[in-house]
Structure 1
Amino acid sequence: MEFRLLGTVSVDTFSGPLPLGPAKRRSLLAALLLSANTPVSLARLTESLWDETPPLHARNVIQGHVSRLRALLVGADAATYGVELVTLGEAYLLRVPETLLDSERFEELLLLAREQSDPADAVLMLREALSLWQGPALTGAFTGPPLQAAAHELEESRLAAVEELARGYALLGEHNRAAALLRTEAVAHPMREALAAALMTALYRAGRQSEALEWFHRTRRLLADELGVDPGRELADAYALILRDDPPPHEEPAGGRDGARNAPAGPATARRG
């Protein structure tokens, strides 16, 4: 049994996905999974299922979805996996081992990757972590404000993992691979300066200076047209490095490839969206 938040909200079993039904039931499941093994109040669930004034019968709607979800879990022998949906007064609690939840495994793999001294090992773990994503987080759920915030936070973690993976490729001298990875995300997030700067640097390190400069001018125009601002320091610094034609850092560390393999990967930081 596996619970998925990194893509369509779902519960996979050996006989196939559980028929969760309407979006609000998926929202209920998502809210419970995001606080797995912690009671979630009726008030919190109400905020998650409605982004406007809830109906007078909201409590009954939630109770109905809880009953149906509990029946689905019981029918799938969830208890044998240590999974149980219980009522605790004015709250509900979904007991589920963290190993059955894709978002928890994703975060665990990120932590393990950051502990590796060998970039090659970190790259393997980051690729495994990102393979857990099957689409935008919480797809198929009706996302009230709490779930919208949770989906945004999960997406920020995914983008941080992508940027870390690109840095890992760079440490291994695989700059074209880093550029291909970053280009996909930079196209999807054209206003995210950190991605644009990382892509420019990867292209430059791969010997594709004209493409790197083109990406800077493209991003600069978007920032001016959409936000009325100039490029921030990170983007400007990447542009200046390319114009100076500085030797790409970390391309050939002391000790050659072995030196690169022993260089620790930097920690993820929040990127401006």
Structure 2
Amino acid sequence: GSVGVAYNNLAGAWHLLGEFDRALQAFSQALRYARLGNAEFLEAMVLFGEADLFSDLGLAYQAGELYGAGLTLATQIDRPDLIAYGCLQTAMLHRRSGTPAIASEWLKRAAAAAGRTDPPLSYALEVGALELLAAPQKAQRRLQKLLDEPGSMTTAEQARALYLRARCVAATGSQPEATEALKACLDWAGRTGTEQTIAGDLRVDGDVRGRLASDLGGHPTARRLTERIESMEVLARQYDPGAAEHSPRARIDFRGLGQAVIRTSGGKGERLQRIAREMAFLVLDSGRVERDALVEVFWPEHSPGRQTANLHMAVYQLRQALGKNVLVLEGATYSLGTSASIEYDVRRFERAASLAERLPAGDPRRMFALTEAVASYGGAFLPDSDSLWVVERRRQLQARYLDLLVAAADESMVRNQVSRAATLLREALSHDPLRDDLNEQLMQALHRLGRRNEIVELYQRYVRSLADSFGLDPPDHLRELYGRLIS
């Protein structure tokens, strides 16, 4: 045990010094000794420490796996302090990954795990980090209150508070004030050796990094942080070889879930006419589309001559908006070329879904993966379109989303997170209110929560909808379940 503790302490020190390879090697040794000694508390500590490093590097999936495994161990050995820490750090991971709503949920879990004890200052700092996204002035007041009592904070906590305050000032004050606040943070971090405390957030804060380069490029701590973040990005690519390299190519962002938007740097994509925009989505979603298929989808009632003219006009509009080499014609087939960096939210959802679906039930990584997949579904596919291909694709994506909601609800029930399971099932029912299994599962979840009135309300609404839509009664097993639950 003592050898494992020593390796874990060494790993933490290497991490703070920016010696990430050495830190990972030491974490590996610490984990080995923890498992040899059956030291579950130490093993959870090591998993969280390694997860913190991966979170700083921007490797969200790897960090999520490790936080999930650490939380499972912490729950097994009934250590609320470790559970609270794992939830808090998972909240930070989600905030850095751009999902603040999920981060807020993890913060609530951290507070619940801490129970009646006062939450640590790191909790208040993360609350401030989330607040500054929507209410920077409120966040600034919270952070200033903490900074007014510096004796209550560690040097690392004070560095983080100063950094977050600098971000608040940048959002609410003048440029000189923002630069001065950031300089105060750099001065403190350089003096106390706490650069790594702010490096993880700085890595994802493009505006602050820009201010460092333009206003404080000569500051010694700014130079060290810039070099450290560059080394973090190099290491991250080694652990995630599929990560996109920085590229000077133009970026085109297709958003088809809950909206129908094509964003380009010059704003021309947003002004595309509906048919041209939808055609771009079809080509992107399909990979390759025959010319004849395009004209039949969009102009089936027109003569061949008019079809050709309309197609040429749509292609012209797309090339004007997205770039002349983006839409490629090979023979009689259209595809999107590689002259631009293309982001597509549907692809992100499908990748996240595939990842979650591959993990077996009970795997500690599965809950995190399911949460990520559910969060990446932004809504109905191209909601304003009634084209047949859109309607079918919308149905496929929604069905997959519902399956993910059910799987996440099942995992939540196994983990005794019944309230969360009920929320997920309600979301699923909002899309498919007549599914027998969803109504059955939600009734059972509400029963475990002791919400008898809600069971009655749910069942009666289900019975009315089933009768109104199909003239049917509920299946026997659901009627019997309802009778048992309210008796």
TM-score interval (norm. to shorter): 0.7 to 0.9
Deviation readout 1:201-244 (Å, 9 max, x if unpaired): 22123222442243123212211122112224xxx434534534
2:257 match:
6
Q: Decide which of 383, 389, 393 is 1:139's aligned counterpart.
A: 383
Bigger fraction of residues in helix: 2
Is residue 87 of structure 1 aligned with residue 87 of structure 2? no
Alignment partner of 2:448 out of 182, 195, 205:
205
Find the residue that maps to 1:229 and give its secondary structure.
coil
Shift of 1:173: 1.0
SS at match of 1:19: helix
Taking the aligned partners of 1:131 and 1:90, their CA distance within structure 2 comes to: 38
The alignment status of 1:121 with 2:365, answered yes or no, reads: yes
Matched, 1:24 2:275: yes
**Does 1:72 pair with 2:321?**
yes
Structure 1 residues not aligned, in runs of 5+: 246-273
Question: Is 1:109–2:352 an aligned residue pair?
Answer: yes
When residues 160 and 98 of structure 1 are mapped into structure 2, their CA distance, relative to the original with a 3 A threshold, is farther
Q: CA offset at residue 192 of structure 1? A: 3.1
Report what 1:160 is aligned to.
403
SS in 2 for 1:147: helix
State the match for 1:59 in structure 2.
308
Cα deviation, 1:156-203, whole Å, max 9, x if unaligned, reads 112222222222211211111111222234244323333322322221
Identity of aligned residues (%): 28
**Residue 13 of structure 1: CA displacement?**
4.3
The structure having more radius of gyration, on CA atoms, is 2
* Greater RCO (Cα-Cα under 8 Å, separation 6 or more): 1
Spell out the pairing of 1:178-217 with structure 2 (5 A cutoff). Answer: 178-217=421-460
> Structure 1 residues 200, 16: closer, same or farther in 2, change over 3 A?
farther
**Which residue among 439, 459, 469 is the counterpart of 1:226?**
469
CA contact (8 A) 2:381 2:390 kept: no
Change (3 A) 1:157 1:188: closer
Q: Show the counterpart of 2:294.
A: 45
Tell me if the contact between 2:272 and 2:317 (Cα under 8 Å) persists in the aligned partners: no
- Aligned residue pairs total 232
RMSD value, Cα:
3.0
Once structures 1 and 2 are overlaid, which stretch shifts more, 15-24 or 199-208? 15-24
8 Å Cα contact 1:48-1:143 kept in structure 2: no
Instruction: Confirm or deny: 8 A CA contact 1:99 1:105 kept in the other structure.
Output: no
TM-score (norm 1): 0.72
Report which stretch shifted further, 3-12 or 117-126. 117-126
Task: Give the secondary-structure state (helix, strand or coil) at the position aligned to 2:401.
Answer: helix
Distance 1:161 1:196 in 2: 16
Which residue identity does 2:283 align to in structure 1? L
